[in-house]
Each structure stands twice: as C-alpha cells, then as structure tokens.
A and B are shown apart, each in its own frame.
Chain A
Amino acid sequence: MKSKSSYWVKTLQNGLIGGGISLLLGLVGMALAFGKTYIISGVITMGQIFILSPFLFEAYLSVRRAPSKEPRSLFLVGGLSGLVGGALLAAFVLIGEVVNFRAVLVNASPNLFALLTFNLSLVPGILVLLGVSLVTGLIAAGVFLLPERIRAALSQAVMVVVLLGLFRDLIVTVMLRWGVVQYAFLWMFAASGLKIIGALVIFVLISGLVYWSKGRDRKAIALKRSPRQQRVTRWSTLGVLGLLVLLLPVILGSYFSEILDNVGIYILMGLGLNIVVGFAGLLDLGYVAFYAIGAYTLGILTTSEAVGLLHISFWLATPVALVVAVAFGVILGLPILKMRGDYLAIVTLGFGEIIRIVVLSDWLKPILGGSEGIQLIGKPVIGPLVLANQQQLYYLILIGIILAGFISIRLKDSHLGRSWMALREDEDVAEAMGINKVVTKLLAFAMGALFSGLGGALFATKIGSVYPQSFSFIVSINILSLIIIGGMGSIPGVFVGGLALVGLPLLLSQFADFRYLIYGAVLVIMMLMKPEGLAPEARRRLELHEDAVGPGPGEKPQSVIKNPER
C-alpha cells in the first residue's frame, strides 16, 4: 500500500521521535537524577539507559514495520533510526557549545552534556554518542531477527539485571539483616549497581530459566494433575503467601514497613475508588475529600490538643469517622446523580477542592486548625499495647485491606455489583431494566467514601497529625492512576497498581521528583495502548476490545458504540 520512500521518511521520523524523547528525558532531569546510579558498576548508568532506551524502542518500531524482512535492510533501518536519534542529541550538544541553554532550561547543565558525551571532550564525545546510538539501533534490528523464545529470554534477563542494579541499595540493606544468608548474594553487588561478573551470572541464569520455562506447556502440566492435587497446590500457595504477608514487617525492618504502610493505605483507598470508578463507572476526581474527612474527623475526636472537639479513643472515633465519611459521600452524591462522564468528574474535583479550601481558611480555624492542622492524634490502644510504630500499624492496615478486599470481592458478583456494572455500561437501559439508579449510585459513592474514610483515619493515626496540604487534588490522581494501571474494576489490579505506583517511588528516592510526570505519562500510555490495565477484569477487556471480538448476540451493535453521543 505505502511506497518505499514514504517508509524511509517514517524511519527518519521514528529516529527523530526517539531522539526527542531521550532529549526530553535529559532536559526534564530524569537522566541526570540517575546519572550516578550504576546498573553495572563502571559500565553503564541508569541515566545512560534512559538516554538510549528511546532509540532502542523507536528503532524496534521502525524495524517491525519495515516492508522487506531480509536481515540486511532490517539492520540498515534499525541503524539509520538509531543514528538519526543520536544525531539529534549531537546537534543539541553542538548548539549547547555556543548557546547557553541553562539560562532557560535548568537541567541543561554541564553534567548533562558530560552524560551525553560520555565524559569525553567534544569531538570524540559526539563521535562516541553517534556510534553508540548506531549500535543501539543495530541491536534493535538484531533483537527483532531473533526467534521469539530467545528474544523473550534475553529481554527478561536484561530487565532483571536492570532492576537488581537499580535497587542495589535496598536489596543490600535488607540482606544485611539476614545473617549468614547475605553472603550468598552480596558478592554480586558493587558499591553502586552490580559487579560485571554478577551481572553476567544473573543474565545467564535468568535467560536460561526463562528459555527453559517458555519451552514447557504449563497449562498441559497443570491439567494433568488431579483436582485434589490442584486444590492442595492452590491452598499451599495461598498459605505461603499469607504467611509471607504476615511476616513482611519482621523480615524487612521499620523503614520498609513505613513504605508498606503507605502502600497499604493507598491500596485501601484504591479498593474504594475501584468500586466507584471501576464497578459503577463514575469518574470521581474528588475522592480525596473523603480521605480528608476521615482523617480530620479522627483528628478532632482523638487529639489531645486544644483544637479538638472530644477526646475519645481511636476505636470509638474510627466508626464515627466512617459514618461521617459515608454521610458526606451520600450528601455529595445526591446532587450529582444526574451527571455523567466529564461533568461528574469536574464537579467531584470541585467538591474535593472546596473541602480543601474551606479547611485551609481562617473561617474554620478554631475547629480544624487551619494551615497548621491538628497534631497529637491518638494512637490505637489494645489493652496495654499501644500500636505506635510502623510495624505494628501494618497489621491494622492489613486488616483494613482484607476487609475492603473481602467486601469488594463479595460485592462484585452480587446483585448490587451487577447493577453497578449495568449502570456503567448504559444508564438508560439499566434504569429500564428496573435498577434503582438513585440507590445504586448512592451506594457506590457511600462504599467508596467508607474505604476512603477508613484510609484517612488510618493515615491520621499513622502520621499523628493532619494538615490540609496532605489532601490536595494530586492524591485523587494518585489513586486514580493506580486503579487504571491495574485495570479498572479489577481487584488484583489495585494491588498491582499500588505496589507499582506508590511503592516504587517510595523505594527509589530518585524517582520521587518525577513521580507525577511518570503518572501522567503512564495514564496516557495505558489509555492509548492497554486501556484494560495490567491485571484486567475479564468483562472490561471484552468491552474495550469489542472490535476484535465482534458484537455478540446480546451486545450493543457496533454503530452505537462508535458514536456514544447519539
């Protein structure tokens, strides 16, 4: 269909896009933040990986779309694409010699130029840069030519090596707690990243393992087992997992327990928002409001400061906080029952902001403490035991998550859950089928508010103080991103999303600055490439890939879906 010349234009375009992406990563500061983080000690840093991986990706795209599949032209295409990207960076370096970019772009520092020229002087640096980008493009073509099984093995091995190098500090800290076992692992780590020999061993090990496991047909093996065996395997895996979850704070120590607590609170709220957005399809951007309400209610009820209303125990205050949060969920839900889609999103955003602004103002300062917030919030007490530190609070949060997860799972296939999904698919049809729109929608808001309020209450007692700054719009986006990453409506997805989006930035301090940049990019990329999420719910996958499956007998005809406005 397309002529060959237009294909070459496309290749050049891909190369330029790759160069543009890596330039952006450099100028935004991501490459520099990781400039000293070695993946393999003395060989390659994460910053360099950030600069080079766009070339690899774009070259791979060019190669995959290439009209002729003979190796020579594929290598030509890949190399060209990489080279063009490298040329863009080289041009940037050359112009940077004359123009002072730094007056405008804060990250165009000498360090960035040093990173781009591999710490060499100008001319050899640029030559090396061009050479490395050419090689990267050639590698992309080479990877494309490999058989599927080897490609999977190699790419997964590379990924494991990069992850190990990236998380070197954390892994070492955890292992130092393990006594003798540490010596089995510590040899492969250098002061930053992996040792060359360690990286090689891991690479060979993982690629071999993946290659071997790809060769086996897992389903066939699983089917061969008797039902009893299958049940035993399932329960024992669950048991081991459960034990692991229970022992995590003990194994990992207090620093990681703090991170686990944060992840846990987000997962708890994610489970709540998953009901509102995932099950019922109501895009709530003011979800942080209920979090704030839960936290503040607990705060003013348990604080030993003068601002509070009452001074009661955590166990008495939490139910009150939940009731208040649910009540607000219903009250704020009532006026927006008739709204759909974007208007609903923006009104809920408005609610969230109104609550934050009102809390911040001087008007309610006598009760809510204004911008100084509320301090000295009570800790939960069981008999003589005060749940004060992060390891102990972990169990409290875990109980909350188990409760929320159990409720979500049970609700999903209940009458109510199905009503929510019906409303999500088509409000008018659902109403015509006899679903009470008012009650069903309000229940969704109330359930969401319940979990969010619980999250807020736990957050308040964990931190020991609440400030209005903790409840900005960004928290709502945070929770929304984590359920979208995992897949809307999917309960395991919430856990996947929580660990990936909340856990990773907390684990890697260099990521923290770019957290929201990555969230934004992740939201866009997920919606463009994989709108059903990483751990998708079956029904949602069907719905989003209807074109591939074709309309079934009971589904809407295609034309209606194509034009949702009509």
Chain B
Amino acid sequence: MLRTWRQRITITDIFVWAIGLSIAGVVIWGSISTLLQGQYPGKVWLDLSIKGLALGGVYALIAMGYTMVYGILKMINFAHSEVFMSGPFTAVFVAQALSKSGFLNRQPVISLAIISLVSMGVPTLIAILLERICYRPLRNAPRLVPLITAIGASFFLLYVFRGLYGSGSFGYPAITSLEQSWAFAGIQIYKTQVAVIVGAVVMMLVLFGMVQWTKIGKAMRAVSEDKEAAELMGINVDRIIVFTFGVGGASAGAAGVLYTLLFPVVNFYMGFFPGIKAFTAAVLGGIGNVPGAFLGAIILGLLESVGPNLFLTGLGVPSPSQLKDAIAFIVLVLILIFRPTGILGERISRDKA
C-alpha cells in the first residue's frame, strides 16, 4: 500500500503490458491499412455487423448459464457447452419428423414452439442431473476437484451423445417463411437474423426480469452474495442452485434453437466453440453479471465477425476468417490478463481471478 507505483511495477508487468500494447498496435495498424486498401465496400461491414449481432445474441444466451452458475457456485461449469449441444442435437430429430409430415411449413410458429420445447427441455434436464450427480457432492471440495469433474462430465456427455445419435451431422430443415430477406440500404437482411436478434433480446429481457424482480431471482442473488446468510434467511439453497442450473440449461437450449436458425447443421462436437466463446463473453462482460454477459456477447460477436477481415486483411494474412476462433481466445486471454473483472463486473473482487 505504501509503495510507490515505481516500486510496485515488476518485470512481468512490463512484459505483459508490452504484449498488450503490441497486440493493440497490430490491431490498429491492421485496421488502418485494411480501410486504406478499401478492398471491402461499406455494405460488407454492415452485413458482417448484422451477422455479428445475431451471433452475439446466441452467445449471450449460452453465457447466461456460465455467468449465473459462476455467480452462485463460483465455479466454471465446463460441461455447459455440452448442455448447449444436447438441445439442438436432440431437437433435430423432432424438426426432421415435423418437416417430413409437412407440418413444419404449414404451421411454422407451432412447429418452432415444439422444437424449442424439446431443445430447451433436454438441456434443462441434463443441467439439473449434472448438478445433482457431479457438483453437489463436491460443493465443499478443494477447488480443482469440481473443475476436473466438470471437464470429465463434459467429455462424458459429448461422447454419450455421440454414442446415442451417431457421429454424423444432421441438417435442420429450412422453414420457408423464414427464408426471405429484405433489401435495406443496399444490404440483405435475412429474416432468420432478425428472428435470432429479436429472440435473443426477448429471452435476455425475460431472464433479466426474472433475476431482478421476481422472488426467486431475489433468492438467487442472495445465495450468490452469501450462501450461509441466505440459508439463515430461510432460503432453500439447494433448490435455488438446482433452479439456477435449470434456467441456465433452458437458456442454452433457447440459444440452440437460435443457433440452428443461423447454422442449420448440428453434430456432437458443435458445442465446444460456442461454449468457449460464450464463456469468453461472460468474462468479458463481468462474470456473475447478467447485463454484462449480454454486453460481452454482443461485443464478442461483432469482434468475431468483423474482426478477422478488419484487423488481418491489411496485414496480408491470407483467408483471415480461418483465424476467427483464435480471435475469441485472444480476447479471452487479454481480458483475463488486463481486466479479469470484466467490463461491468465491479462487484466481484479481484481475488477471484
């Protein structure tokens, strides 16, 4: 406390800041030279931004599961990416059956509701089972133990689903009434993108409202603040934790429905990258913070969709979109190094990082 800033700075800090500054330099230099080259017209950027917004919406819903569980149990639910995968990977069979019978295009709204129900129900169930079997017995164990359990559970679920449904990819049937697009200011806006963005925003508002204004949301916040005190106040902590896992699973399932509107192919390993990116989004916004997760997800979606072309084209990197997954990881690493509390996360002390 009494040391001056000169004494506090160590070699590692200098090294870390040097890395950070050089990455910032590369990003700025790359963006400027890309824009100067003028390879892409303005509407390409707009187009990419809309894609990024839709993607961000999906990430936001997956991130809810991470952020709420972290808020309460202070652990990363590593298996959440598989919880996410379980929904759309199961619902694809429902969708295919509906499409075969012709019901899908006759009653798209009811069909989507049925698909969503399945896609949200399965992850909810799995998340609750996960909590009951894997995490509850380990609530007081040393910290590495539940983390390793979560990694194991993640692999177990991944390969159980591979065993159940096979290792192939399945296509979601297209819904004809969502296939059209609007031409707007020279760019194409697809109905699916609009549906995804609207769906994500509505879901986020519902979740935010639930956490903020309902009784159970209040209980959730109380448990995440202080488990013992909450218990003394008559809150059934176990039930709140189960509920949190359930809500996280359901919102991951909803994300799954939206995800399949954007990328209509599902397979057993589809969860890994969206899961990691959603986690990045949750950390970016400040883990444990619901609006933060939304903000972080939108930023990450935009970065991922616009970033590779903007930062890397000017540097002469061939096919920059191959590196879009690396961008998410670099964002994750940078945010954890420089601001582990995230953009909005002031509440959680720096000790947790």
Contact = CB atoms under 8 A, between A and B. Distances in A.
Whether chain B is bound by chain A comes out as yes
Interface of A: 24, 27-30, 103-107, 281, 283, 285, 334-343, 345-347, 349-351, 353-354, 357-358, 360-363, 438, 473, 477, 480-481, 484, 488, 514, 516-517, 519-524, 526-528, 531, 543-544, 561-565
A346 B151 CA distance: 11
A543 B142 contact: yes
B16 interface: yes
Contact of B163 (A103, A339, A517): A517
A524 B155 CA distance: 10
B155 A520 contact: yes
A527 B163 contact: no
Nearest to B316: A363
B76 interface: yes
Interface in B98-146: 133-134, 137-138, 140-146
A354 B155 CA distance: 21
A516 B155 contact: yes
Contacts of A349: 276
Given A517-B163, A523-B151, A362 B141 contact: no
B276 to A, nearest CB: 8
Given A353-B276, A361-B317, A524-B133, 5 more contacts: A354-B333, A361-B322, A517-B159, A527-B152, A544-B145
Contacts, number: 174
B153 interface: yes
- Counting chain A CB atoms within 10 Å of each CB, the highest count among B147, B166, B319 belongs to B147
Interface stretch (B42-50, B240-248, B324-332): B324-332
B190 interface: no
Nearest to A562: B140
Interface in B14-47: 15-16, 19
Q: Which 8 A-B pairs have the closest CB atoms?
A: A523-B152, A520-B156, A28-B163, A520-B155, A517-B159, A350-B329, A106-B166, A524-B152
Nearest to B349: A565
Contact of A520 (B16, B154, B337): B154
B155 A564 contact: no
Contacts of B137: 528
B155 A477 contact: yes
Contacts of A347: 332-333, 336
A513 B35 CA distance: 49
A527 B337 contact: no
A453 B229 CA distance: 49
Given A480-B151, A527-B138, A107 B340 contact: no
Contacts of A438: 10-12
B148 interface: yes
B195 to A, nearest CB: 26
B59 interface: no
Given A347-B336, A363-B317, A562-B140, A527 B145 contact: yes
A23 B11 CA distance: 58
Contacts of A484: 148
Contact of B134 (A30, A343, A477, A528): A528
A104 to B, nearest CB: 5
B267 to A, nearest CB: 13
B16 A335 contact: yes
B279 interface: yes
**Residue in B11, B154, B329 whose Cβ sees the most chain A Cβ within 10 Å:** B329
Contacts of B162: 517
Given A283-B147, A341-B144, A346-B332, A334 B152 contact: no
A522 B144 contact: no
Contacts of B133: 524
Given A335-B337, A517-B155, A520-B153, A29 B148 contact: no
A484 B325 CA distance: 29
B144 A336 contact: no
Nearest to B312: A363
A523 B152 CA distance: 5
B185 interface: no
